[in-house]
Structure 1
Amino acid sequence: MNQAFLSALIIGVSFVLYSCGDSNAQSGVPPIPNTNEPDWLVGQFSDDAIYKNLCAVPRIGPDSNGDTFLDSQGTAMHEKMWLRSWTHDTYLWYSEVDDNNPSHFSVADYFSQLKTNELTPSESLKDNFHFSQSTEQYNQRTQSGVTSGYGISWEYVSASAPRRLIVRYTEPNSPAAIAGVTRGYELKKIDDIDFVNATSEANVDKINAALSPSDTGQTFNFVFSDTTGKVLLATNLTSANIELQPVQNVKTIHTSAGKMGYMQFNSFIRTGQDGLINGFQEFVDQGITELVIDLRYNGGGLLAMASQVAYMIAGNAQTNNQIFETLEFNDKYPNVDPITGNTIQPTPFYTKAIDWNSNKLTSNTLPSVDLTRVFILATANTCSASEAVINGLRGIDVDVVLIGDTTCGKPFGFYATDNCSTTYFTIQFQGVNAKNFGAYSDGFKPVSSPIFDDQLPGCTVTDDFTSALGNEDEPLLAAAINFAESGLCPITTTLANKEVKVENTGNAINTPNTLLESMKILTPISEP
């Protein structure tokens, strides 16, 4: 098999071998220390390798994840010049980036403006997916499946007063789950501060400190209510390192259309592979004839895992020798991947489990349910690698029925790349399916009678948080069941507890970096 590429998020979130995550695999000798700042000349670009790993504050020794790096002494200007050359070489829309003087910016601010400001035909920004994160935090989440907090996935309905923050779900065995916090709970108070209406800077700072604790072992008192304002729970929550469980609520539902499998899948990260395999094996053993994959909060991740999921849905007969996705880089690289230097090869439908430590396929064949139709539960948080599953299946004529709302619209991806303690994400490619379609930057839309390629058969249904995920009465799942049985959408799909976000009035709380959850990240995969 030819070498192909994968994605970690959406958005997200294993990576190029010289990026964060496995820097020991980096070849070569550490750069020579250099404290003489390089000069910027407009329109003239040096090879980015000249500036790579020359850091204002080099890392010394392994970080908390055990990762080591090839940092050497440099300056902030070296870091900015690396970003500049790297962007000019690999960014998908490099010709649309203004060549501003780096000395006028901090490193972070300089990276933030190294992107196109052009708009799509629908008048939205062409690039909404340009961001960076601490390498140490990024590696912890994507490699070990660990994140700090209470184990709550929040829906930020409104970040400004009057605020509204709703629990989407909790991670099993997390502090929140153990305390009894559940889907649909709304946050009302933190340490006796009125979360909904607080406006003072001091109180907003305290709220942010509680929602995003700086370390484990920090305890705050949370008060939750239902949508009517009735207090349901007042409890102390202590921050901890949370082991994410990407696959949850695997079950088989008996319907008049036959046995239907349901799986909630939250992130395409390494630790999700075992849960996916076990879940699909359960579906095979149960003999399901319909399948619902709940991707409503899945922002993406490993493209290789997206390919695996698509194979486990469609099976060998439909995917054999078929293309899952082909990557298109900028016009400097029509045939070669600019990051790896390898000839561009289509990503196949992966039929084997992957050893993520070595980025190699194993000899273990994945289970598959061999279906010609799948229901995908989606919202605007369904992004990147999740959308790649949809697009890849449609490329081989598997029917995808979309239930919920329009997806986020991210046919693009990147190699997560570390430099000087920060992992950078800049759009480097667009993915197209076997039919050469990848133009869904405005998202996939559920409609009754699809006309365009970014429209799918399905139903628009509001995510209302009043029923547990996986419950047959939960509106999105109920709509999928009804569609499977009758071919019809529910009569009413509008529910009251989902509100439009209000404008930022200056007292907004910090919101999470949702871009981190919308990743399609690549790394080379090879035969064992």
Structure 2
Amino acid sequence: MKKILIIFVAAIAFSCSKDDDLSLPNTVDPDGSANVEVQDFMWKAMNFWYFWQSNVDDLADDRFENTEEGRAAYTAFLDSEDDPAAFFENKLQYIQDRFSFFNEDYRELTNSLAGISKSNGLEFGLVRFQDSEELFGFVRYIVPNSNAATTDIQRGDFFTGVDGQTLNLSNYVELLFGENDTYTLNMADFTNGTIIPNEEEVVLTKEEGLAENPVFISKSFTIGGENIGYIMYNQFTNEYDDQLYAAVEALKSAGITNLVMDLRYNPGGSVNTTRLLASMIYGTNTSDLFLKKRYNDKLQDQFNDSQLEVYFADKVNGKTINSLGLTKLYVLTSSSSASASELLINSLEPYMDVIQIGNVTRGKNEFSTTLVDDRENSYLYTPSRVNDINPDNQWAIQPLIGRNENADGFFDFTSGLQPDHELLEDYSNLGILGEENEPLLAKAIELITGQTGKRDYTVQYPINTVSSSKEHSLMSDKMVDDTVYDLKF
């Protein structure tokens, strides 16, 4: 993973005195569970960083006294769950928090944030049969150079089972996202409005280290006298910032004056990459406010305004950004568009006309960061410090640590961002991604050109997913704070 980029003009520098800490170096009771040390890390990291720290009684600063009795009570509390996952969910996570998560191996988590995963490359949605517990899947797209790319499966294909078992609400997680690296999809046809199983099968195998370039499609059209650019962008991954800028540069060279950003399958990612993309689209005035950050009350008071404010950028990896300088942006969304996708829309709204087409977005306006058992670095994961992570504790947590507001102070979209033009995908007419007749892109082109009345956009079989492959990746619904902190804990 490359070095994380600095968002703030100045690094954040403050310290947490030992008087503020529990100072409990001997909390691991030899008679306690082996996970007490892990849960000690979780509690202390969450007590300091968690956005809802003040809402969780067990995370209160005065929850345990710094006395012998208090240390004993603290150790007993840590030992109240024999599984760190249960401890995190049951003792530390705020009831209204939908998105904080954890992983027992920080490497797996950080690889996922870099767009690297164990995957077969099949991206799909799952839909519930009406009045039934059973599900069917539909293929959204195939990741290039993946295992799925070598098989006979494509966008718009359907499946109803795995390894001969019909998918339902109770078994789909185990069958599709369990420990089985290889499974067989039982395929189906769409006939007269009905999904009907057929005899076809597709065998897929998850492979380690699959890296997905999130710039899935980039192309331009000249239609009705309008030069239109289109980018399908499937994750805000900072490792691919150069590729993203190259796509934007190519569209600028092609003379586009309109841009359609397709974020319908984009679950989020890097805040800094979002800022860079916004700068590529709108402008590079570094005096224009991109967002304002709000942390928990304990941390908020430590920051000054310049450290809480993030501005548009004029460079990407040292290269000067030649912005498109647009005043209008068309964005395609679905219920799978989350976090950083929503941040792009919300942060550009004060500056330009953002026309949203598709479905309401996921509704996630908080950001997170990766915390590991590196106590000298305030638990912050820093690639250059992996040797300083406690070798006996490889767990990582990814808690929500703050909330982003746009330049107008707006942040309240936990119910999702509503489209200006609602148009759900239709599983009887998904279309080919990037082709001008694909329904959502066609609608954007119609709005750009003003050539209305030529197409019927009636959705006969609207897609309302209950889950998707992206929702079961570690990157699902993530908005990752890229800030480099300089803290002493």
TM over 0.5: yes
1:135 Cα deviation from its structure 2 partner: 1.4
**Structure 2 match to 1:506:** none
* Deviation per residue, 1:317-368 (Å, 9 max, x gap): xx3411111211111223435xxx99724222122223xxxxxxx2x12342
Which of residues 227, 242, 262 is equivalent to 1:259? 227
Kept in 1: contact 2:128–2:135 (CA 8 A): yes
**Structure 2 match to 1:29:** none
- Cα 1:474–1:399 shift into 2, 3 Å: same
Kindly report the root-mean-square deviation, in angstroms, between the aligned alpha carbons of the 2 structures.
3.6
* Deviation per residue, 1:362-384 (Å, 9 max, x gap): 2x123421111111111121111
Mapping for residues 201-220 of structure 1, pairs under 5 Å: 204=171, 211-212=176-177, 214=179, 219-220=182-183
Mapping for residues 2-401 of structure 1, pairs under 5 Å: 4-5=7-8, 47=21, 75-99=34-58, 101-105=77-81, 106-113=83-90, 114-117=92-95, 125=96, 127-133=97-103, 134-143=105-114, 145-158=115-128, 161-191=133-163, 193-196=164-167, 204=171, 211-212=176-177, 214=179, 219-228=182-191, 229=196, 231=198, 234-241=201-208, 242-256=210-224, 258-316=226-284, 319-336=285-302, 344-354=307-317, 362=318, 364-395=319-350, 397-401=351-355
1:50 Cα deviation from its structure 2 partner: 5.5
Whole-Å separation in 2 of the counterparts to 1:5 and 1:79: 31
**Structure 2 match to 1:494:** 459
1:247 Cα deviation from its structure 2 partner: 0.5
- Cα 1:438–1:329 shift into 2, 3 Å: same
**Structure 2 match to 1:407:** 361
Q: TM-score, normalised by structure 1?
A: 0.72
Matched, 1:481 2:433: no
Whole-Å separation in 2 of the counterparts to 1:424 and 1:470: 37
Whole-Å separation in 2 of the counterparts to 1:282 and 1:104: 57
Secondary structure of 1:282's aligned partner: helix
Whole-Å separation in 2 of the counterparts to 1:50 and 1:342: 34
Secondary structure of 1:333's aligned partner: helix
Secondary structure of 1:524's aligned partner: coil
Letter in 2 for 1:383: A
Secondary structure of 1:132's aligned partner: strand
1:93 Cα deviation from its structure 2 partner: 1.9
- Cα 1:499–1:54 shift into 2, 3 Å: same
Whole-Å separation in 2 of the counterparts to 1:185 and 1:429: 40
Whole-Å separation in 1 of the counterparts to 2:199 and 2:344: 38
Q: Which runs of 5+ in 2 are unaligned?
A: 13-18, 60-76, 374-392
Whole-Å separation in 2 of the counterparts to 1:198 and 1:89: 37
- Cα 1:131–1:158 shift into 2, 3 Å: farther
Which of residues 413, 421, 430 is equivalent to 2:403? 430
Secondary structure of 1:332's aligned partner: helix
Secondary structure of 1:234's aligned partner: strand
Secondary structure of 1:140's aligned partner: helix
* Deviation per residue, 1:72-99 (Å, 9 max, x gap): xx95223223322322222222121132
Whole-Å separation in 2 of the counterparts to 1:422 and 1:110: 13
* Deviation per residue, 1:408-433 (Å, 9 max, x gap): 11111121112322221222111112
Which of residues 428, 433, 436 is equivalent to 1:469? 433
Whole-Å separation in 2 of the counterparts to 1:495 and 1:405: 15
Kept in 2: contact 1:150–1:174 (CA 8 A): yes
Letter in 2 for 1:314: Y
Secondary structure of 2:475's aligned partner: helix
Letter in 1 for 2:126: Y
Whole-Å separation in 1 of the counterparts to 2:86 and 2:175: 27
Whole-Å separation in 2 of the counterparts to 1:350 and 1:54: 46
- Cα 1:51–1:349 shift into 2, 3 Å: farther
Q: TM-score, normalised by structure 2?
A: 0.77
Higher RCO, 1 vs 2 (CA within 8 Å, ≥6 residues apart): 1
Kept in 1: contact 2:345–2:354 (CA 8 A): yes
- Cα 1:146–1:516 shift into 2, 3 Å: closer
1:48 Cα deviation from its structure 2 partner: 6.9
Whole-Å separation in 1 of the counterparts to 2:185 and 2:29: 41
Whole-Å separation in 1 of the counterparts to 2:308 and 2:470: 38
Which of residues 418, 438, 459 is equivalent to 2:372? 418
1:52 Cα deviation from its structure 2 partner: 12
Letter in 2 for 1:94: Q
**Structure 1 match to 2:67:** none
Q: Which runs of 5+ in 1 are unaligned?
A: 7-15, 17-44, 57-73, 118-124, 355-361, 447-457, 503-508
Secondary structure of 2:249's aligned partner: helix
Kept in 2: contact 1:383–1:408 (CA 8 A): yes
Kept in 2: contact 1:129–1:427 (CA 8 A): yes
Letter in 2 for 1:177: A
- Cα 1:209–1:519 shift into 2, 3 Å: closer
Whole-Å separation in 2 of the counterparts to 1:394 and 1:186: 37
Whole-Å separation in 1 of the counterparts to 2:123 and 2:27: 35
Letter in 1 for 2:49: T
1:276 Cα deviation from its structure 2 partner: 0.7
Total equivalences in the alignment: 424
Kept in 1: contact 2:216–2:232 (CA 8 A): yes
Kept in 2: contact 1:161–1:197 (CA 8 A): yes
Kept in 1: contact 2:370–2:396 (CA 8 A): yes
Whole-Å separation in 2 of the counterparts to 1:158 and 1:52: 51
1:46 Cα deviation from its structure 2 partner: 6.3
Whole-Å separation in 2 of the counterparts to 1:368 and 1:140: 30
Secondary structure of 1:4's aligned partner: coil
1:49 Cα deviation from its structure 2 partner: 7.8
- Cα 1:168–1:51 shift into 2, 3 Å: farther
